[in-house]
Every structure is written in C-alpha cells, then in structure tokens.
Amino acid sequence: MQCYTELLPPTGVTHSLALPFTSESANNLVVARTSRLQIFSLLNVDPQPGGAEEQGVSKLILEREYALPGTVADLCRVKLLNTKSGGEAILLAFRSAKLALIEWDPRRYGICTISIHYYERDDSTSSPWVPDLSSCGSILSVDPSSRCAVFNFGIRNLAILPFHQPGDDLVMDDYGELDEQRLGSHGPGSGTDCDLTKESTMHGTPYTSSFVLPLATLDPSILHPISLAFLYEYREPTFGILYSQVATSNALLHERKDVVFYTVFTLDLEQRASTTLLSVSRLPSDLFKVVALPPPVGGALLIGSNELVHVDQAGKTNAVGVNEFSRQVSSFSMTDQSDLALRLEGCIVERLSETNGDLLLVPNTGDLVLVKFRLDGRSVSGISVHPVPPHAGGDIVKSAASSSAFLGDKRVFWEVKMPIHYFWADQSEDDVYEDDLYATVPEVVVDGRRPSAESSGSNLYNFREYDRLLNIGPLKDIAFGRSFTNLGAEENASNGSGLELVASQGWDRSGGLAVMKRGLELQVLNSMRTDSARCVWTASVAHRDEAVSKNTTQGEERELHHYVVVSKATSVDREQSEVFRVEGQELRPFRAPEFNPNEDVTIDIATLTSKNRVVQILRNEVRSYDGDLGLAQIYPVWDEDTSEERMAITTSLVDPYVAILRDDSTLLLLQADDSGDLDEVELNEQMANSKWTSCCLYFDKTGIFSSMRATSNESTQRNMTLFLMTQDCRLFIYRLPDQKLLAIIEGVDCLPPILSSEPPKRSTTREALTEVVVADLGDTWSSFPYLIGVVHVCRVPLGVQLDYSWAIQQIPIGEQVDHLAYSSSSGMYVLGTSHRTEFKLPDDDELHPEWRNEMTSFFPEVQRSSLKVVSPKTWTVVDSYLLGPAEHVMAVKNMSLEISENTHERKDMIVVGTAFARGEDIASRGCVYVFEVIKVVPDPERPETDRKLRLVGKEPVKGAVTALSEIGGQGFLIVAQGQKCIVRGLKEDGSLLPVAFMDVQCHVSVVKELKGTGMCIIADAVKGLWFAGYSEEPYKMSLFAKDLDYLEVLAADFLPDDNKLFILIADSDCNLHVLQYDPEDPKSSNGDRLLSRSKFHTGNFISTLTLLPRTSVSSEQMISDVEAMEIDVKIPRHQMLITSQNGSVGLVTCVSEESYRRLSALQSQLTNTIEHPCGLNPRAFRAVESDGTAGRGMLDGKLLFQWLDMSKQRKVEIASRVGANEWEIKADFEAISGEGLGYL
C-alpha cells in the first residue's frame, strides 16, 4: 500500500499559446507543462529614471495555475460568440483523445469548463490493427475565424467540432423552449462544469454536434498523415494536410524519394462533406510540418529537415534549400542557400509582426534565423533565409526550442534551453535551461519608408531577453552529497551539514546540474556570539546630515546607516537593547545611550518618514530616534484622558502610520508628520469603542481595496488601509486617513479559500485566530495582498531560485550531463558528460575504400563522452578525462571496493561503464574503468583544483556495459555487459576478476542490489525484470523470480515495507508497477513469479527511481515515544524518490493499513465532490488498463492535498464522511508529503 506524491511539479514547457483570455483587451500567455496549466499576463514595466535600461520591458505575471489530471497534447485559441470575461476561449487536447473547452470566469478569478469531449471510445478506434490511442500522436487545429476545430487522433481519425457563428441561420431564430431542452445535448461531450451566460447569444452551447470522419473519406490516398493546419483568408473552413501514400524512410530514400503530397480541403459543416481545392505532389520526403501564414503572405509554409517550401492559395510553390543535402534527398525545384548549413529537424517557427510576413526560426542548435518572403503584390516570388548575427542577439538562445507563442508587438515566447547572464559577484555568465520571453526592437525606418522584404533581415531586428521561467528538466540522474556551507570547521563538526540532492539537467550545451534542497542554506557573512538573545531587529536609516524629504526621487542615492538591535532578557519584564552598526560585512558595537535606557520590553522596531526616523515601540511608550539613534520624541502608550496605565501588545507600522493594539483590546493610531514627530489620530466612534484582537496596516499600491481612484497628490493617503479583526473574527477594512469603512468580512475564522463580504452559509466549525497579517506576495514587478499567518524574512544565497517549494540552484556545465556520482571520500562530484562533434567516415577502412572520396563539408554530429570532476565549493570543473571517439558513458557509480586480496582493504572508488557504438551492423564492445579521486597540488590561482582522477583499473569486455552496481559484502561489483551479468572483483594489478555470472535477456537497463543482502534486480529494456541473488560461498548467482508481463523497464528499485519486499518499476508508458516477491502466495508458483500488486499512471516519463530511508515525522515520533518501551528493535522505513524527464520530482511512500483506508476513503470523496479543472477525471487519469490481477491501487497524493485548500467547514464535513478526525488526516499528510526527507 503506497502513495504517490508530487514534490516538484513539471517544469518543462510542452505547449504555449498567446491570446486575450482574462479580458477582451488582455494579453495573456497560457503555458502547458505536461499536466500543469499556467496562465500569465504581460506587465509592461517602464524604465527606472537614471537606470541602465533605456527602454521598458515586459514581465510575465502568473495569474493562476492548475494541476490537471491529464496530459496536455495541444492548445488552440477559439473566439466564441460570448464568454464571461469578454476574451477568447481555449480548446485543449489531451492524451487518449479528449478535448476540453475552457474560458475565464472573472467572478471566480479562474477558469471555467464549458465542455469536455471524449473520442477515446469511438468505434473507429476499435480495430485490432490500429495502435492504442496513447501510442499515437494527435494534431489539433482551429480555423482562424473560429468556425470549427479539427482533431486528428488515432493516426487516421478526424474529429470535427463546429462552433456557432454570428452568420449562422440558427442565430436568427428566436430562443425558444426547444433550445432550452436541447441545452447540453450536442456532441459526444455535453457536460459542463459551470453555467454558461446566455447574453447576446441564441444557443445553449457555443458549439454544435461534433462528428468523426476517417481521413480516407477526404481522400483515399491519405494513408500516412504527417501534419495539418487551418489556412487563412478562406470563406469556408479550409485546412491543408501533409501526407504520403507510403511511409517515408531515409533508409529507403532511393525508392521513396519525393513521395509527400500537400492537399487543401474545404469543409462543409452542414453536409459533413469536403471538397479538394488543390493538391501539390512530389514534395520532398523529409517535410514534417505545416505552418499556416496570415496575410500579407498567406498560404502555408512546409518545413523539412533540409528545406522550406511555401505553397500559396493557387498552389504555386517556392522553396529554398538550407544545406547541401537538400539537392541529394529531393529533386524538387528550390533556391540554393546550402551555405547556411542549417539543420531544421525539430525547429520552431513563429511570426515576428502582424504587419509583415517575417518569421523567426529556431533550429535545434539554438541559432536565430529570419525567414523573409519576396512579395510581388499578393503573390510570393521567393523565400530568403538570413541568420541573425550575434551582435543583434542571434546567439541569445543557443539551444533547441520546443514551443513558441507570438505575443504581439514583436514579442515572442520560446520554450528553450538557453544561457542567461547573471550579474554575480566574481562570476560573469551562467547557462540556465529556462523558458524565455524575447522581443525585437522596432524596425528601422529610413526617409519615412519601411525597408523592403528583399533586404537582409540582419539589420532590421535586435533581440534581447525580457523575462524567463524556471525549467530544470529533463532530470537524467541524481546523487546525494554533503552540502558545502560557510560555517567554520568547529561549528560544522558539531552541527553537521545536511545532504543535498544534485541532479543532471538540460540538453546539449545547456546541460548542467540542479542542486535542490527542501530548505534554505543561508550564507553566513558574519557571526557574533551573544547570551540570552530574545529577538533581533534591523533598521536602515538616513544619516542626519544626509536626511532628505519624502519627495526625493528614486534616482537620487542616499547614505544609509544599517543597525542591528539585539534584545537580551535581564528579567521577566526587563530586557537590555544592544545596538550594532553594520560596517561592510562586520557588526561593530554602537554606543547609543538614549536607546531604551529604562530596559523596557521591545515590541517592534521600524523606520518612518522615508527612513529618516527609527521608531521603537516599547510596552509603555513609543520612542523616536534620528539617524544616529539620538532621542527625538517619546509618546506614551497609556490613555492620557483617563490616566489609566496601558501596555502595547502588538503593533503594525507602515509609513507614516503606527497602529498599536493595547492590552485592553483598544487601538492607538499614530501618524508621523513631515518632520517625523508622531501625533495621535482621532478615531471614529466604532474604531475607538470596539474591542480588537489584531490590527494590520497595508499600503494598497494595486488599488484592490480602494473604492475610487485617488489623485496624484492623494495617492499615498488614499491607498492606505487598516485591517482590524474583532473578537468574533469579523474583519473590518478601513481606508485612511478618512477612516471610511470599505468592507466587513465575516467568518474569517472559517478560513474560506476566497474572502468575501457575504457571510458563510455554514459556520459551525471555526479556527482560533490570534493574528491577521495582510502583506504582498510576489516579486519586484508584481505583488498582491494575501492573508498570511507567519512571515519569515531571510537573505538567501545568490543564484538560489525559490519558484517552487524547494530551493533550487542551477549550475551550468556547458555540456550534456548524462550520469553523475558523488565521491564520498573526496567530497567531489564525478560527471559523465557528452558534447556534439562532427563525424567523418574513416579513411583507413579496408572494406569501404570509397569512403576516402567523401567530399561533403556538412558532416553529421555524434556525441563525444568525457568524465569531469566538479567541486561543490565553487561548482567548477577541476579535472577532466576524455574518452574515445565512439565510446559513450553508460553508468557512473561510487562503490566501496576491495582493493587488496591480501589485506582486504576497501576504498571508495568511481566505477564507470562505457559502450563502443560504431554502428548498428557492428557488435558493441564495452569497458569498465575504476577511478580514484586523489588529492594533488592545486593551481595557486585556483585552490579548488586539488583533486584529480587517477585510473586504478581498466577492463575491456565483450558487449556494452549498460549497468553497474555494488553487490555482496566483500567489496565486489556486478557488471551488465551485453547479454550477461558478471560479478567481478578488483585485483591489485587493476584487472577485474570474474567470480560469478548469469545469462540475461536483450538489453539490461537496471541492475540494483538491496544493500548488504546480495539480492538484486536485473531489469531488461524489453523483456521485463528478474529477481536474483548472489552468494559468496560458493560464488554463484541464482534466479529467484521473474516478471511475466515483459514490461519495458526504464527504471526500477526495491521498496521494502516492514516484512514485505516490493519492487517498483517504471515502464515506457509513464506507468508505475508495484511487484511483490511473496513465495508463500499460491499465485506466485512457489516464488517463481513476481506478483503484480498495483499500477499507477504518473503522466511523466520517469528517469530514475532511488530507494531512500524515511525519517520519522512529528506525529510518528509522538507514537514511537509512547511505544518505545514495548519495541526492542525499530524497523527502518523506506521511500522511493522519483525524477522525470519533464523536471518533476515525486515520492512513493509506504503507508499503514489504517492510514491507507483513511486516505483511500478521502480520495474517493474528493474525486466525487470537488470540481476538477477542464472536467477531467482523476480516477481515469491514474488508472492503467490491466487484466484485473492488480490489488489495491496506489493513492494519488496530488489529489489528496486538495483537501488542505478547502475551508475549515468543508474540511470537517469531508473528514466526517471519511470517519476520521482532522488531525488524523493531517498526520497522514505529514508522512506522505516529503517530511520523511529530514536529511535534505
């Protein structure tokens, strides 16, 4: 019984779309990250006065994001007759033939599902020779006029979804009762998640009945569809499709040359028929994509691996070849630009402007290329391709792109792997694998005329980066190592440094490392020992001579003094305030005799009057100081009218106001004048006579709480708000200085997801609230008010990114990192990297003398592998070991090996397995390297270069070495070489002596041992998994059990649970399989068969599975302390860490029987009661088709954690249905949420 929890969501962007979504005039970017949907808006930021930037920039602001129970296959924009926001809608295609139509709901500030359409159970997909829908790609395209959408699924099926238009005949009919009865009865997907508004429309739904047609009904020759897209400027819905009658093949190019067709069809939606408008035959066989072009160019651009072909509306073609192979692979007429030597496989094309036809093309090398069209009126007479030079931003990407979106005004979004310039101390440039927003400068205008399209495009555009999104995928391998901190040796030895998770991420030149930790490791710039410190405050105040008025512009620099105040408790109600001044990176004692001389208890310290005054709130008085901490004013806290003694309990300071809540629950509001003196603000009757439990001042810079627009002179005053909470948990919002009541929010202690002035319907269950804080959450460019409980302010190390729940630091390497291991003896990381290099046929091959006459200059590229040693102190490469031209690193492991047969001494070694791949017709060979990371004399200018790889042993073997693992208790290792697994021992002469072996299947992908037991798993890439054992007396390997389902194993590992032994397998279809070895079960055939216990669909291509120990969480520690006397030996707990290709990190945790029943019931309640984004079914998403032999299913942690986002009343209701207490569910969540990774 296990639970799958997603610790980090997918970070890699798969699809992107730009449209006005949140409103009619909005400019939004919608991003799909596999199973996560994010909605951004563009914020135009003006340049700061006196700043380095002369032009404004655009920033991406995250509006909402949703975890989808489905894998997004495509995104398209749809212009409906009416939407709730006035903007456009989005049509999403999902894996397994599903479509969802969504819109933006301003009232809920989120998406609203209009309809969900299922085509996975269509009769056309039931043929036995048709591949499964999950194995087929899909294409979604929407007509530019939003008249219909076509969805190509299951290779040769075409679903057509028409949309209502203002010109429809049905729109002219009156809306009657029959239309109301037909509401939701159109098409296979008629369910809605929310009521549709019916203003300005005569239909119950914005679409009509959809239908599915085989592609053969359009043309019987469409047997192998390649790509399709709707075209512009047609009166009827018209699309162009690229297809072939026989499958294209590079190996059969001499027989299947120029076999691709391009045909344009127009659709008759009423008759469900089509008409062929034009067809172009004998196109190059390497064409793979159709891109529809808007006016003024029109037509379609066909993209191939070696050429670009334009087809206009009349069928006229223009083509250009971009490398020397374009002439060899095709006889199609084209312009020769082979000197560009471009590789267009997997390239992305996006338009640059709405006024001309220029396109921006990004090939897999990351170079920026302009595609320009020569126009003769409305006709295209030629195509030209122009690489963007580096000085114009042509080298800003440097890596392949996967998706793009045109944002208007020459702004383009690319999902790329690219280098970003970080302005770090002592560093100049770092590569980051991220998604970026780019823009081009306006076109150069000469004599009032726009340059012609025939001119070179290199002088028309200048690209620069605007914004970027974090992306750490794909994660290929992970290692755990000691984190390097700035603590001294003595302190480090006493406290110990935790572990950090280091993963290899990125592709090609954007490859590097991602250092991840669950918490922050703060950089200690300076430390000072002090006794009995109760609290610490910091204050930055202008020097007395440099103090300026509040009208000082932002461009003027001011000299600030930085103070640190430490409060030391001397007695129960007395404390001493010790003041330090920050000078550089040191704290020096500062003498301030007037600073709290009476040793009263400090409540808060802050600055007012544009940092000209330091205000200290004590229990009995408020003291104001100047820039040198000289006393300027004392204001008493007690009531001067009644002379009753009062004490301050809590306080809130926002310039120029100070709000103090006293011990009798009354409010004292002070305001600072221009000179900095504090005066009491007279409160209205309601504020003065009410009893308050919490107060908070907030400067409403976004205008959310303002009832009217303030003038420029009153902006500061009108945007100041005061939040007060009464004893019955009613939240009052006042505007200052007129003390106008803006809103009263009741039922705050019910903790609703959205605060509203409407009272809660059910308020029987409440939380005990003690404090309310309203603060801005966000970055420098955008922040909005949220209601939060606790704020932690700290300084994080430079380069650490906090976009997700874990702290992530990206380390550029400049090469693709395929494998890595942590050398525990030296504290270094050893990487197996690869980089592209040109491949040339050998001249000395005796069997192929014709290779000597190879005249091409456009050589193919292959990977060249090497080993690198990286120091965690500086995260730089300190040593390298280059491998042979055809030798590839397959595995890198750190092992404790026996290095002496006589003394049986053991030492940590780095073992590397390689494969020599010279071609598919040549048998592979392999080699096992054993390295030791030794200490050497460093370079005086680089003290971190004190480590180096020393080759200890090298053993060439027959067959590729695909997997390695330590095995047994004598310091041996098991090597998967070809179709054998051999246990070897390191001899003193450096050779590896075989002692035991086992014949295996085709290609061993995983070999792992359950540490210290001799039991191991041997997983094959196509033939399933074997469970075997190794014995030392005598040396032999024995097969225990097999997986009879023949899974395609990508990753696997053991998962012990108490006295049960489970094996977790990740297959090639994003599924997790839980197998169990139980020889006592009759279904296991005396233990010869591994039993399938559960199957779970993750939606991510899993790259690694790693068994980790699980530390006890707080709830388990309480139980273990009670039962400590009853248990003699504690059974260790384990969990499985999962990394994926899209950058997500997951965790599989074993749960007890009681917890499983409780969480399973909760999961069923949440599945049936809460609204799911896009109308998807999470139960269907996680289900895996099987023969029914699997047992209990794995729990979905992502679905379970949605219970925490509910209101207090809703939580209690669902918990009561489950039959559990709220604290029991929270205790279960603590165990599955990653809190067991206490060492990270």
**Residue 1145 clears pLDDT 60, i.e. is over it:** yes
Does residue 908 or residue 611 have the better pLDDT?
908
Q: Which of 130-139, 628-637, 880-889 has the highest mean pLDDT?
A: 880-889
Does residue 834 or residue 555 have the better pLDDT?
834
Are both 770 and 653 inside the same structural domain?
A: no
Across the range 942-971, mean pLDDT stands at 92
Distance CA 377, CA 386 (A): 22
Distance CA 867, CA 929 (A): 11
> What pLDDT is recorded for position 1012?
84
At which of 782, 803, 818 does a domain end? 782
The secondary element (H helix, E strand) that includes residue 506 is none
> What pLDDT is recorded for position 1120?
58
- Of the chain, the end-to-end C-alpha distance in Å amounts to 25
Evaluate whether residue 1195 is within a structural domain: yes
Across the range 851-860, mean pLDDT stands at 85
Task: Band the pLDDT of 413: cuts 50, 70, 90.
Answer: confident
| 23-39 confidence digits (pLDDT tens) | 999 999 999 999 999 99
Tokens of 616: 């200290």
Q: What is the CB neighbour count within 10 angstroms for residue 185?
A: 10
The answer to whether 84 and 104 are in contact (CB under 8 A) is yes
Evaluate whether residue 456 is within a structural domain: no
> What pLDDT is recorded for position 250?
85
Across the range 243-267, mean pLDDT stands at 92
The pairing of beta strand 2-8 with beta strand 1195-1196 = parallel
Distance CA 147, CA 164 (A): 7
Q: Which of 570-574, 789-793, 858-862 has the highest mean pLDDT?
A: 858-862
Are both 646 and 739 inside the same structural domain?
A: no
| 1152-1182 confidence digits (pLDDT tens) | 999 999 999 999 999 999 999 999 999 989 9
| 351-384 confidence digits (pLDDT tens) | 887 777 889 898 888 888 999 999 888 889 999 9
| Cβ-based burial of 158 (10 A; exposed 0-12, middle 13-18, buried ≥19) | buried
> What pLDDT is recorded for position 51?
52
Tokens 């309480």 belong to 1118
**Residue 866 clears pLDDT 90, i.e. is over it:** yes
Distance CA 42, CA 623 (A): 44
Evaluate whether residue 752 is within a structural domain: yes
- In total, how many domains does the chain have? 4
**Residue 449 clears pLDDT 50, i.e. is over it:** no
Are both 119 and 256 inside the same structural domain?
A: yes
> What pLDDT is recorded for position 422?
26
Are both 267 and 221 inside the same structural domain?
A: yes
| 1053-1070 confidence digits (pLDDT tens) | 999 998 899 999 999 999
Instruction: List the single range of 227-241, 722-736, 769-783, 809-823 with lowest mean pLDDT.
Output: 769-783
**Residue 432 clears pLDDT 50, i.e. is over it:** no
Are both 704 and 676 inside the same structural domain?
A: no
- Omega of the bond leading into 994 within 30 degrees of 0 (cis): no
Evaluate whether residue 373 is within a structural domain: no
Residue 39: closest CA among 102, 84, 98 = 102
Angle, vertex CA 217, rays to CA 212 and CA 221, nearest 5: 130
Q: What is the CATH number of the domain that holds 643?
A: 2.130.10.10
| 1193-1223 confidence digits (pLDDT tens) | 899 999 999 999 888 888 888 999 998 888 8
Are both 655 and 698 inside the same structural domain?
A: no
**Residue 784 clears pLDDT 90, i.e. is over it:** no
Distance CA 136, CA 153 (A): 7
Across the range 633-659, mean pLDDT stands at 84
Evaluate whether residue 795 is within a structural domain: no
> What pLDDT is recorded for position 851?
84
Question: Is 1080 in a helix, a strand, or coil?
Answer: coil
Evaluate whether residue 1149 is within a structural domain: yes
Across the range 690-714, mean pLDDT stands at 71
* Domain residue limits at 110: 11-344
For residue 835, CA distances in Å to 12, 427, 828, 876, 948 come to 22, 23, 22, 17, 21
Instruction: List the single range of 278-287, 577-586, 682-691 with lowest mean pLDDT.
Output: 577-586
Distance CA 24, CA 40 (A): 15
Distance CA 1020, CA 1075 (A): 15
For residue 662, CA distances in Å to 537, 665, 697, 903 come to 21, 5, 16, 76
Instruction: List the single range of 294-298, 585-589, 1015-1019 with lowest mean pLDDT.
Output: 585-589
**Residue 421 clears pLDDT 70, i.e. is over it:** no
Task: Band the pLDDT of 418: cuts 50, 70, 90.
Answer: very low
At which of 650, 681, 712 does a domain end? 681
> What pLDDT is recorded for position 590?
87
Q: Which of 76-90, 412-426, 485-499, 578-592 has the highest mean pLDDT?
A: 76-90
Distance CA 361, CA 403 (A): 11
The answer to whether 882 and 905 are in contact (CB under 8 A) is no
Are both 112 and 254 inside the same structural domain?
A: yes
| 101-124 confidence digits (pLDDT tens) | 999 999 888 999 999 999 876 555
> What pLDDT is recorded for position 55?
62
Distance CA 454, CA 462 (A): 18
At which of 665, 681, 697 does a domain end? 681
> 37-42 — which CB contacts under 8 Å span 24+ positions?
37/65, 37/66, 37/68, 37/72, 37/92, 37/111, 37/1173, 37/1174, 38/62, 38/64, 38/65, 38/66, 39/63, 39/64, 39/65, 39/104, 39/111, 42/407, 42/411
Are both 649 and 732 inside the same structural domain?
A: no
Residue 510: closest CA among 548, 537, 472 = 472
For residue 124, CA distances in Å to 130, 265, 1083 come to 9, 22, 37
**Residue 428 clears pLDDT 60, i.e. is over it:** no
Question: Is 454 in a helix, a strand, or coil?
Answer: coil
| 10-19 confidence digits (pLDDT tens) | 999 999 999 9
Backbone angles phi, psi at 1181, to 5 degrees: -65, -40
User: How many residues does this entry show for the chain?
Assistant: 1240
Question: Is 727 in a helix, a strand, or coil?
Answer: coil
Are both 51 and 71 inside the same structural domain?
A: yes
Across the range 407-430, mean pLDDT stands at 47
Evaluate whether residue 136 is within a structural domain: yes
**Residue 412 clears pLDDT 50, i.e. is over it:** yes
Tokens of 1139: 């990394």
Are both 674 and 694 inside the same structural domain?
A: no
**Residue 857 clears pLDDT 50, i.e. is over it:** yes
Q: What pTM was computed for the model?
A: 0.86
Across the range 1042-1047, mean pLDDT stands at 89
The pairing of beta strand 307-311 with beta strand 300-304 = antiparallel
Tokens 């997909």 belong to 125
**Residue 216 clears pLDDT 80, i.e. is over it:** yes
Are both 1208 and 1139 inside the same structural domain?
A: yes
> What pLDDT is recorded for position 1193?
87
Across the range 558-581, mean pLDDT stands at 83
> What pLDDT is recorded for position 169?
53
| 527-561 confidence digits (pLDDT tens) | 667 667 778 888 888 865 544 444 444 444 567 88
The answer to whether 632 and 676 are in contact (CB under 8 A) is yes
Across the range 679-689, mean pLDDT stands at 89
Residue 446 is given by DSSP the state: B
**Paired residues of 190 in beta bridges:** none
The answer to whether 204 and 180 are in contact (CB under 8 A) is yes
> What pLDDT is recorded for position 448?
36
The mean of the pLDDT values for the chain is 83
Return the percentage of the chain with pLDDT > 70, whole number: 82
Residue 512: closest CA among 868, 837, 796 = 868
> What pLDDT is recorded for position 177?
40
The pairing of beta strand 89-94 with beta strand 98-105 = antiparallel
Are both 1095 and 1143 inside the same structural domain?
A: yes
> What pLDDT is recorded for position 399?
65
Across the range 254-278, mean pLDDT stands at 93
